[in-house]
Amino acid sequence: MNTPLVTVYIPTYNRVDLLKRAVESVRNQTYTNLEIIIVDDCSTDNTHKYLKEVSGLDQRIRYFIKEKNSGACVSRNIAIENANGEYITGLDDDDYFLKNRIDLFLDNVCYLKKFKFIYSSVIYEKNNITRKQGSIRLHEVDYNSLIYMNHVGNQIFCKLLTLKENKFNTNLAAWQDWYCWMTILQKGGKGKFIEGYTYVLDDNDRVRITNRNKDDKIKKVYSQFVNDYKLNFIESRILSANMVPYGINVPFFCGFILKISDLSFIFRFWYWKRIFNFFKFLLNKPH
């Protein structure tokens, strides 16, 4: 039986109690041939002490302590650079895996012969109430479909080489995962959706690792997406819909909605369908 080494990377910062939950969810996976890499972004709590203790209990765990705070993307890239697995996937320190997550991906690893990565749905958890993500995921994504919306989510499962060649952009203040998936698919290929709920996203009212000063970050990153991927007028306006849930540029987006009425019927139908699907997707996320 083939049992490839799988790397799970976890960036963390000043959330040792949540980190413990995340790490235990990986340690307790039904699939055991794992490498767990934790990168601490210069925490000031008891994270370092915990990492020293847990790595002594489980030889699968390695950790890196950064000398200065430089963000989650730098942490992710450090983990990727030091990974040894044949395959790799990530976990945010305030989220956790269900015990069969890695097995689910390995049961579908054959898709990586054709696709660049595979991904699945998530379970949202808030105030001890869980809710499964709706079924709006695209079963296959390519670069063009990702221009308008992050259909993939915040984690993928792929060959290590895929992320070594397409690391996270450390200059982005938000949407870093989305940008990375677009970079991977910009060179060709697709991502494949896998049925199954094995990732729990903790959506409680606390600051997530990439959630500080979100409004300003989203505005800057929106401009960077438009410039880096050379989006045209229509593409950039549809992308702007992703700012509406944050209350950003609502008049700007509504103005674009009015402009759609000036287009031909065929184009109006196509754009309205995309916008409808976008907001349908949002309704399946917790508020």
Q: What is the mean pLDDT of the chain?
A: 86
| pLDDT over 80 at 44, yes or no | yes
| pLDDT over 90 at 45, yes or no | yes
User: Closest Cα to residue 93, out of 22, 163, 152, 37?
Assistant: 22
| pLDDT over 50 at 263, yes or no | no
**C-alpha to C-alpha distance for 91 and 31, rounded to whole angstroms:** 16
DSSP state of 114: T
| pLDDT over 50 at 157, yes or no | yes
Percent of the chain at pLDDT > 70 equals 79
Average pLDDT over residues 254-262: 48
| pLDDT over 50 at 256, yes or no | no
Angle at 228 between CA 226 and CA 234, to 5 degrees: 25
Which of 24-33, 240-249, 273-282: highest mean pLDDT? Answer: 24-33
Cβ neighbours of residue 185 under 8 Å, at least 6 residues apart?
116, 141, 142, 143, 146, 191
For residue range 200-253, list pLDDT tens digits in order: 999 875 554 455 566 778 888 889 999 999 888 888 877 877 776 666 554 454
pLDDT in the model for residue 258: 45
| pLDDT over 80 at 286, yes or no | no
**C-alpha to C-alpha distance for 200 and 206, rounded to whole angstroms:** 16
Q: What is the pTM of this model?
A: 0.84
pLDDT in the model for residue 5: 99
pLDDT in the model for residue 217: 80
User: Closest Cα to residue 208, out of 181, 232, 236, 174?
Assistant: 174
| pLDDT over 90 at 182, yes or no | yes
The band of 265, judged by pLDDT with boundaries at 50, 70 and 90, is very low
pLDDT in the model for residue 209: 46
Which residue blocks in the chain are alpha helix, DSSP H?
A: 16-27, 47-57, 72-82, 101-107, 143-146, 160-164, 176-186, 214-228, 233-239, 250-260, 265-283
Comparing 10-24, 100-114, 175-189, 273-287, which segment has the lowest mean pLDDT?
A: 273-287
pLDDT in the model for residue 257: 47
For residue range 108-132, list pLDDT tens digits in order: 999 999 999 999 999 998 877 778 8
| pLDDT over 50 at 40, yes or no | yes
pLDDT in the model for residue 126: 85
